[in-house]
Amino acid sequence: MTDAPEYIPGLAGVPAARSSICLIDGSVGKLQYRGYPIEVLAERCSYEEVAYLLVFGRLPTTTQLDEFRNQMIAERGLKFRIIDLLKTLPESGEPMDALTAAVAAMGMFYKGDHISDPEFLRLSVIRLLAKVPTIVAAWDRIRKGDDPIKPSTELGHAANFLYMLEGKVPTSLAVKVFDVALILHAEHSMNASTFTARVTGSTLTDPYAVVASAIGSLAGPLHGGANEQVLSTLDGISDRSANGIRRWAEDRLARKEKVMGFGHRVYKVKDPRATILQGLATQLFAKFGSTPEYDVAVELETQMADLVGGKGIYPNVDFYSGIVYQKLGIPTDLFTPIFAISRVAGWLAHLLEQLEGNRIFRPTQIWVGEADRAFVSMDERS
């Protein structure tokens, strides 16, 4: 009899694919998309350019980017029946659930065989990138009793989303900050939602089902949901002096409770995305004034570095993203849907990579039940 394979909870450290999309070295805080450092992409590119890079594997030329942008702009609108569908959902429901439902429904409107039809696959990629932000903004307005705002045909991807929330053209600084936030969240290798996308895609189902399943996975508090909890953590610190914040952190750590926005499975130094987001936050505050949460966050980072920095626990991407989104006037429960708006590029890149030489995912299990049991008829069961 052969030895049973080792069971590794959460498949931690088990490679699930060979990939050339995202490189992470958590020991030194290195993050690269398609081999380009995240710091350079955040400074030099737009989200559309980064999405093209992730999905097609190369930086676009001016002509390619213009064509890609124009195709996305043409696909921003929603079918009126998708809007009707959103109107039937309870306004108190979770925005991530509304997004899952609407994206899954898209598969019914755009039927096709994406495996043998590269054009259908390409169009599906563009539609998903273009329409996911429109769904999130439309849902936010519908649940408040307002009509959705038609997408602009003039504004870029980041500016158009902010515009669709309130109907006001955002400032150039707000657009730049939000665009970079989208770039930073666009891809992060084999996390739970990306693995979900690859597993769903490996069955050769349609891309809308792939993205809907990934959104469902992202919604959980252990994955995309953490960014919404950082603000309430910061607001929960009543004594905001340096000593008060240190005491709060010490108490929390003594009770073995996690401090939201700190720690990462991969990074053992400060998450490079947190460093970039903090820089953006300071730009926003220089222009529009600081927030109490930011001052608490900076002091908490200092105190936590002293207390647990030696264990490799530093701010992750969620620590400053909520503070930035709050300053942009975005409701807290849209933070995770915004993560989805951005990450759809990464999911689609992984779908395309999975389809090259695809093999359906079919892991094994370790049987721990009782075998060969004698059936008991209904009248003999106790």
Binding site for ligand COA (CB under 6 A): 226, 253, 258-265, 308, 311, 313, 316-318
| 225 CB-near residues (< 8 Å, 6+ apart) | 219, 336
Classify 25 as helix, strand or coil: strand
Nearer to ligand COA, 134 or 227 (CB): 227
What are the angstrom distances between the C-alpha of 176 and each of 163, 282, 347, 377? 14, 13, 23, 68
* Minimal distance, residue 350 CB to ligand COA, in Å: 18
How far apart CA 94 and CA 139 sit, in angstroms, is 10
How far apart CA 43 and CA 184 sit, in angstroms, is 11
Q: What is the DSSP letter of 315?
A: B
Residue 251 CB, nearest approach to ligand COA (Å):
12
Q: How far is the CB of 219 from ligand COA (least distance, A)?
A: 14
Kindly state the smallest distance separating residue 264's Cβ from ligand COA, in Å.
Answer: 5
H-assigned helices in the chain: 38-44, 47-56, 62-74, 80-87, 95-109, 118-143, 157-166, 172-184, 192-201, 207-218, 226-235, 242-254, 272-288, 292-308, 317-327, 335-355
- 140 vs 318 by CB, closer to ligand COA: 318
Cα 198–336–42 angle (5° rounding)? Answer: 80
Our answer to whether residue 350 is catalytic in this structure is no
Min separation Cβ 278 and ligand COA, Å? 15
Under a CB-based contact definition with an 8 Å cutoff, are residues 316 and 263 in contact? Answer: yes
Catalytic residue status for 3: no
The minimum distance between CB 256 and ligand COA, in angstroms, equals 6
Residue 371 CB neighbours (<10 A): 5
**Of 236, 295, 305, nearest to 270 (Cα)?**
305
119 contacts: CB under 8 Å, gap ≥ 6: none
CA distance 47 to 242: 37
**Nearer residue to ligand COA within complex by CB, 208 or 335:** 335
Least Å distance between CB 5 and ligand COA? 22
In sequence order, the β-bridge partners of residue 376 are none
Nearer to ligand COA, 41 or 226 (CB): 226
Residue nearest to ligand COA (CB): 263
Helix then strand then coil, % of the chain, to nearest 5: 60, 5, 40
**What gap in Å lies between CA 250 and CA 338, rounded to an integer?**
32
Contact present, 167 and 173 (Cβ < 8 Å): no
The Cα 247–Cα 241 span in angstroms is: 10
By three-state DSSP, how is residue 303 classified? helix
Question: Which of 157, 185, 188, 264 is flagged as catalytic?
Answer: 264
Annotated catalytic residues are 264, 318
